[in-house]
Structure 1
Amino acid sequence: METYRITRIYADAAGDSHFQDLEIPLQDSGPIGFLSTGVTAGQVIFRKVNEGYDYDFHRAPARQYIALMDGEIEIETSLGVVRRFGPGEVLLVEDTRGKGHRSRNLQAAVRQSIFITLPPSD
């Protein structure tokens, strides 16, 4: 079965942030490729950050997907686990409560991303 890999960032009951690797199932849709089921979304927000972007620990303002268009970032969880992400990768950011995460540019260049907000979870 085909899948699309994304990384989830979430807060546990104690408020600590964690990474979780997710595999989104894809169905064969013939000549147009492999598609997932639809996800209800809110807004699409386009963003550019400067080359010195280094945002200390913060919570996500909303549940959202972040599609990285270029550059490279490093994200650190509240427990000190660090991962790097690059162009084409997708994050599902859900740590809207708790201690949050830290993110920073790894290249001295403007970086672009797209945020797709999601409804609050129950």
Structure 2
Amino acid sequence: MTTNDSGISVFDEIEFDVNQRGGMFLTDQIASKNFRIRKSNLGYETDFHLSGDATFIVILKGTLKIELQNGDYKLFSTGEYFIAKDNLPENILFESKIHGHKASVIGDESLEAIHIKL
């Protein structure tokens, strides 16, 4: 998830090239600032917001629904991952009815995830 030229959050697919190393296929190193373990109860939801720092999110348990302003959404479940990096240029002020995404924990179990700040 990123922002387009108008500052609107959009889903985007990114491919990372991999290289073979001793039977493993690895990407080049990707720098990170820190990581956190996240837990959210079933029913948790946010208002529309932006990611702030780009964050690589790995779902360990549960299902996280990410919804955009236009109603498009994606579900991320156990074992899936994504990068949240929707943010506005400095000259655009955040408006909760125009910008950002919202997140909610859906399904029948709480969420556990790893957040890695990039």
From 74, 78, 85, the counterpart of 2:76: 85
Q: What stretches of structure 2 of length at least 5 have no aligned partner?
A: 89-93
Match of 2:11 in 1: 19
Give percent identity, aligned residues only.
27
Match of 1:108 in 2: 108
Letter paired with 2:112: Q
Letter paired with 2:6: A
Per-residue deviation at 1:42? Answer: 0.2
Say if 2:18 and 2:28, in contact at 8 Å, map to a contact too: yes
- The two structures, once aligned, show a CA RMSD in angstroms of 1.3
CA distance in 2, matches of 1:82, 1:40: 28
Per-residue deviation at 1:108? Answer: 3.1
- Deviation >3 Å, runs of 4+: none
Between the two proteins, the alignment pairs up a number of residues equal to 109
SS in 1 for 2:47: strand
- The Cα offsets for residues 51-100 of structure 1, whole Å up to 9 and x where unpaired, read as 11111211113111111111112111122211111111111111123511
Letter paired with 1:114: I
Q: What stretches of structure 1 of length at least 5 have no aligned partner?
A: 1-8
SS in 1 for 2:66: strand
TM-score after normalising by structure 2? 0.84
Say if 1:43 and 1:116, in contact at 8 Å, map to a contact too: yes
